[in-house]
Structure 1
Amino acid sequence: MRKGMTFTRFIFEEQRRVPESTGEFTLLLNAIVTACKEISDDVNRGQLINVLGSANTENVQGEMQKKLDIISNDIMLKALEWCGHLAGMASEEMENIYPISPQFPRGKYLLVFDPLDGSSNTEVNVSIGTIFSILRCPEGTTDPTEEDFLQAGTRQVCAGYVLYGPATNLVLTTGQGVNGFTLDHDIGEFILTHPKLTIPEDTNEFAINTSNFRYWEPPVRRYIEELFAGADGPRGRDFNTRWVASMVAEVHRILMRGGVFLYPKDSRENIGEGKLRILYEANPMSFIVEQAGGASTTGRERLMTVQPYTLHQRIPVILGARFEVERITRYHLIADSAD
């Protein structure tokens, strides 16, 4: 007999704790998870079914798309447009919002997602994933516009990701802590394996692409130089660095064993205010990290309080161990006050 609670039972038991619940949110989550199981299958069989490699197309940000980017995006749309729980969707891979067809019933939620984060790693068999965030559609709105999606991270109803690696993991928060599940392929169900995940306040591990050092602002360079100095520097201890180039994998590692992740703004023209998208990556991951006891910042302010102004807006992201995030924020504020 397998140990652990299934995701389906977990969600239904959580639903029972909310007397006014209609079950709509629970059914939406189940539909999202079913779509991610299909994506997981395509990722696992990628070389066998010829879905790896470039699609020779660009997304709205001008980035080259992989075949699996397009396939994963289509899976999410087709699995969720008919379910009756959404008023609209927005994806990192699409320029405009995706309205629900008149042939399907409308729901009271909006979904934003990155269908395949870290897809540049598909050919080298490195962990990648799907990130999603659920928002409430404004009351009385049946045909949402782009503006309805532009909600600060603090207004998220739910955030989660599915990591496609040696195991397929689902991590989820509805604002009541963070729980992790592992897909049992034999029965096709996610099983609760990591209840009540927490991030240690301190850490000796950090993740950042150090090849971009020369482009960073002085506060970030100051922080990284201190870590590189190790036991001989002002921090008085050694630090380890990690970099996977997949935000899902980076955040998952932090949830499992601690750490801090940085993708700051820099001076390159194509980066500017940041690389990661606030709606599809930064907000959902910040929600998860904060619910696990960590912190998230742009370097100057709490990330989830930032009001988005465009669908594909980018933002600097620093998240993870609370003490380290607070230190980096302090360095930014010191530098700004000296200007």
Structure 2
Amino acid sequence: MAGAYNGFRLAPFSAFSLRLCASAVGVLISLSTHAEVSVRDDVGNTVTLAQPARRIVSLAPHMTETLFAAGAGAHIIGTVEYSDHPEAAKKIPRVGGYSRLDLEAVAALKPDLLVGWQSGNAAAHLDKLKGLGYTMYVSQPNRIEDVASEIERLGVLAGTDAVAAAEAKRLRERLAALRAQYSGKSPVRTFYQIWKQPLMTVGRNQIITDAIRLCGGENVFGALEQMAATVTVEAVIAANPEVIVASGMGDSRPEWLDDWKRWTSMEAVKRDNLFFVPPELIQRHTPRFLDGTERLCRHLETVRQRRGY
């Protein structure tokens, strides 16, 4: 059928021409949805898929949340216990816990991508799954910036690049604003307590240490190589932190944080600098980590104000 558009006469289209155009469009769509994707994960492995992942199993709660942030939530077909954010994550079938995976349940889901956690999943489980031929991305963000980068990489693997790029940009903008706000602040000697028995803290390469540094703090155990290290009460007293920050395992301030009040020689106790940050905001490597970092920064600023000099 001939016609005109903006003054130009259109030649009649034959049925063959229409079929040819439709075929070309189909090829383009096929290329866009089946193109090979490849990224490098946090442990340096190249992860390649023949096409974007559509059957993802997340092996850690923070990875489930990060996949949703990257726009890939609809492609998660399995996850682990405590994957509770966002709300939709609660409905995803479970394959055990992050430290005790049900490998048969993982295999039954026939995933095209596994997302593991280097310091959380059992190494034997990850090795077994790799040995069975599953494609695996391994997560280990040790710096806040790594969270933004991870969102982008997961977006590439899931074919949700645009959503992931927007979220990563938002996170980097918040991070830059925090750096600008707290750079140049006077240092605050900080003890971060993960747990009471055993008494545990974070070492140099843990992302929480990066948050402490961003807020102008100094981790009193920042020289330790371990991600999570066991320390003694005597070592904490000797370090004499100006503030003690704890998270525990629940949404409320742990009672054991106040156990430090018996050690009246510590600066943190003298000035009542005992603070709580919810663990889901500071112990999960997700975009919400910046919410926890903001709280941490405010606590350290309170410490500065209480110095009285």
The TM-score normalised by the length of structure 2 is: 0.31
Q: Larger % of strand: which?
A: 1
Larger radius of gyration: 2
Q: Name the TM-score, length of structure 1 as normaliser.
A: 0.29
> Relative contact order (alpha carbons < 8 A, sep ≥ 6): 1 or 2 greater?
1
